[in-house]
Chain A
């Protein structure tokens, strides 16, 4: 078997909040293989955000071991963590986090600005353009975030996450700010990417959204309490068709 993308062994994270020690994560073992689409669920305070921050190399574990694509993250310094994020991880956030007053294309180029070695300006532009076309926004490359709908902004964010060809796409509540139809569209993009081989790890508290993943992990009080394959898996194309029919029915009704 090849190297797992994510390998957490007895991962612990403790924060010091004033005089109190907060045990955010109390020993988690999790392995994510290449090609998986995993949803992490849990109530707020369950430790899922801490888990995501660590998997995203934004933070280091205070106990246990975390290997990302075979690299032991615990031993890296700030700059090495930054490089690792740049090369191996693509982030998609709940609040999109695009740069305001900056075109979709320039937003997509952002991770490439920090890549070492860096590509030429024209290569960066071409790669960003390709990424935007992948999420169906090739026509709107020169739009700024405030000229785009929420769903379109999230697509730009996904395109941005893809430009450095990451090993893992990390999504933190990617549909939290979106209506149900756009949520399904975004999940459709994730399913397409996953079908093409991208490993995706997604945090959500909506069971409905989690059902688009292949595997579901539920956390509570800093521990994994359930880890299973998704039973009846949603297919974005089908769900979207269903939704459109329902809306049409509503519209037809007097």
Chain B
């Protein structure tokens, strides 16, 4: 009953000073809105990273040649070209629990159709590659193992490249394109996959048998990397260990001198999400600081309010309010301010993240727990920063308070 009365009094007092109440709440409003929109942007980024990692393929172990830990200057993984056709065959033959395997050879080549031409990233891969990366076909079909054996002049084309060369709505399947200096027949159009986690367009690509790429385009005998798909996701670490062991044996290396690197999707996604989480925490804590500043604003105004209303407090004490009643009144006033501010902040933050997501073309994800957390912390701030002014009010001497000018 006391609380209910105090709430009634608090609402009356806040209504009497609408503009000031609103300005006081502003700090909390901005703080909460900032926390919510920042966290929602962070969550959106995280979700996007997870999606693009998933687009790399399911249950995949990546084997990359080269080792940046060796030598004075690192050229990055894949630059050393230490993975050979023999390694590929050995993994294929000896490692248990593999669903599919494909090498990767990357080149850039001039691709031409009629009078249109473009420089495109051309990847030489195995027949398992589209399956490993869960890449669907919009039209046509995959090349087969036979094409790989005989280094056939067939290719798969990504959506972006297809549009660039053939225009929108035109199916490239069955068309002949010149890649480098050789003519290739397009046998399949790949379904769009979107941006990779590094921001490049995964659909601006041409895939062909790795044999064709090595023989007709770049030459060379080594692979940049292997993609290995595991049959049982639970066994992914086991397969990774088998591959590492096999390659160490073949390359006569130890952990320190490895000239290759294996990693699985789990590790990639952990690194990526960790970095996006760090960013979210950083931005979130900056927003949290503004929440704190909002709290100090509330304390400031409540102190002013207590001084200004000294006589009112005196009257209340004179007609029989206990110290506790006054404490409650001012505490509830502070908490009401911060909670109403928090609610407005949640609303604004939600609107802001909607707006941002359409403006920056990034998805945002409003997490329920960030809303609850921002709201609860604004209430807590009201209690913490409202307590001191309220205590001050409740300890006033009624005679002094009544005489206060």
B324 neighbours in A (Cβ, 8 Å): 79
Residue from A91, A93, A97, A164 whose CB has the most chain B CB atoms within 10 Å? A97
Interface of B is mostly: helix
Query: In the assembly, what is the distance between CA of A85 and CA of B312, in Å?
Result: 16
- Is B5's CB under 8 angstroms from A113's CB? yes
Residues of B within 8 A of A85 (CB): 318-320
**In the docked arrangement, what's the CA distance between A146 and B57, Å?**
75
Given the known inter-chain contacts A79-B324, A85-B318, A99-B312, please indicate yes or no for A58 contacting B5, CB distance below 8 A.
no
Q: Determine the residue in chain A with the shortest Cβ distance to B405.
A: A95
Q: Are B322 and A78 in contact (CB under 8 A)?
A: yes
A207 at the interface (CB under 8 A from B): no
Q: Is the CB of A79 within 8 A of B12?
A: no
| Cα(A78)–Cα(B317), bound, Å | 10
Interface: B248 (CB within 8 A): no
**A53 nearest CB neighbor, chain B only:** B399
* Bitwise interface map of B from 311 to 350 toward A, beta carbon under 8 Å scored 1, else 0: 1101111111111110000000000000000000000000
CB contact between A97 and one of B9, B311, B321 (< 8 Å): that residue = B311
Given A97-B402, A99-B312, check contact A114 B318 (CB 8 Å). no
A193 CB-CB contact with B under 8 Å:
no
Give the number of residue pairs across the A-B interface with Cβ within 8 Å.
Answer: 62
The answer, among A87, A111, A118, for a CB contact under 8 Å with B1, is: A118
- Max chain B Cβ within 10 angstroms of own Cβ: one of A53, A58, A113: A113
Within 8 Å of chain A (Cβ to Cβ): is B31?
no
A91, B318: Cβ atoms closer than 8 Å: yes
A106 with B12: in contact, given A59-B399, A99-B312, A99-B315 (CB under 8 Å)?
yes
Pairwise interchain contact B325-A78, C-beta atoms closer than 8 A: no
| B399→A91 contact, CB < 8 A | no
B312's nearest neighbour on chain A, judged by CB, is A99
Interface pair A56/B320, CB less than 8 Å apart: no
| A59 and chain B: residue at smallest CB distance | B399
* Measured CA separation A118–B9 after assembly (Å): 15
Q: Flag whether A126 is at the interface (Cβ < 8 A).
A: no
In the complex, B398 has a CB within 8 A of chain A: yes
Partner of B12, one of A86, A87, A102: A102
Q: Cβ of B16: which chain A residues have Cβ within 8 Å of it?
A: 100-102
Contact A110 B316 (CB under 8 A): yes
Nearest residue (CB) in B for A113 is B5
The answer for the CA separation of A164 and B318 in the assembled complex, in Å, is 13
Residues of A within 8 A of B9 (CB): 113
Chain B proximity of A144: nearest CB distance (Å): 10
Rounded to whole angstroms, the CA-CA distance of A97 and B404 in the bound complex is: 11
CA separation between A87 and B5, bound complex, in Å? 18
Return chain B residues, CB-CB under 8 Å to A106: 12
Q: Give bound CA distance, A164 to B9, whole Å.
A: 19
State A6–B84 Cα separation when bound (angstroms): 109
Chain A residues positioned under 8 Å from B325 (CB to CB): 114
Q: B5 to A118, Cβ gap below 8 A?
A: yes
Contact A97 B5 (CB under 8 A): no
Is the beta-carbon distance between A82 and B317 smaller than 8 angstroms? yes
- Residue-wise, chain A 34-78 has the 8 Å CB interface mask toward B (1 for contact) of 000000000000000000010010110000000000000000001
CB-CB under 8 A from B311, the residues of chain A are 97
Task: Tell me how far the C-beta of B77 lies from the nearest C-beta in chain A, rounded to whole angstroms.
Answer: 73
Docked complex Cα distance between A113 and B317 (Å): 12
Q: Is the pair A78, B323 in contact by a Cβ cutoff of 8 Å?
A: yes
- Assembled-state Cα–Cα distance A91/B9 (Å): 21
Are the C-beta atoms of A91 and B5 separated by less than 8 Å? no
B399/A160 in contact, CB under 8 A: no
Complex contact A111–B399 (CB within 8 A): no
CA distance A111 to B321 in the complex (A): 8
Interface bits B381-405 vs A (CB < 8 Å: 1, else 0): 0000000000000000011001000
30 A-B pairs (CB sep. < 8 Å): A53-B399, A56-B318, A58-B318, A58-B398, A58-B402, A78-B322, A78-B323, A79-B323, A79-B324, A82-B320, A82-B321, A82-B323, A86-B320, A86-B321, A93-B402, A97-B315, A97-B402, A98-B315, A99-B312, A99-B315, A102-B16, A110-B316, A111-B319, A111-B320, A113-B9, A113-B321, A114-B319, A114-B320, A114-B321, A160-B319
Closest 6 CB pairs of A and B: A86-B320, A111-B319, A114-B320, A82-B322, A114-B321, A97-B315
Task: Using CB atoms and an 8 Å cutoff, list the residues of chain A in contact with chain B.
Answer: 53, 56, 58-59, 78-79, 82-83, 85-87, 91, 93, 97-102, 106, 110-111, 113-115, 118, 160, 164
